[in-house]
Amino acid sequence: MKKTAILIGITAFSLMSFAQAAALPRYDPGQYCDRIADLSGGSATLANECIKLEQSSYNKLKNMWESIPEKIVAYCDRLARTTGGSYTLLESCIDLEMTESNSPQQFKF
């Protein structure tokens, strides 16, 4: 009985972890874009363009998210969070990592 309860607990935790890892991260584009705009003196144009870029990146990522390898997701999510959470940065990182992972470089003597 005890082993069954432990096994069920481990399975539930694993499924929860997988579901969380598989979900597209939730950033706050409004806060991110406000910070970017504030760095330039408070430009409304920059804030609005930033939101447009964030929305475009989010939409693209949402459509392809399940096909991105978990290793790339984890790395790029950590990178995107260093700026406060940016879908534009997340998308760029994923695009670069996917490209580079398909063309590994070889060192030659």
Q: DSSP per residue over 84-109, as a string?
A: T--HHHHHHHHHHHHHHHTS------
**Domain parsing of the chain, residue ranges:** 2-101
Q: What is the pLDDT of residue 15?
A: 41
Whether residue 35 has pLDDT greater than 50: yes
Tens of pLDDT, residue by residue over 63-94, are 999 999 999 999 999 999 998 999 999 999 99
Backbone dihedral region for residue 68 (phi beyond 0: left; psi -120 to 50: alpha; all else: beta): beta
Q: Count Cα neighbours of 57 within 13 Å in the Cβ-side half-sphere.
A: 23
Instruction: Read off the pLDDT of each residue in 30-43 and give the average, rounded to a whole number.
Output: 93
Q: What is the pLDDT of residue 22?
A: 65
Whether residue 51 has pLDDT greater than 80: yes
Q: What is the pLDDT of residue 5?
A: 45
Decide: pTM greater than 0.85. Answer: no
Written as six digits, the tokens of 58 are 């989010």
- The more confidently predicted of residues 103 and 90 is 90
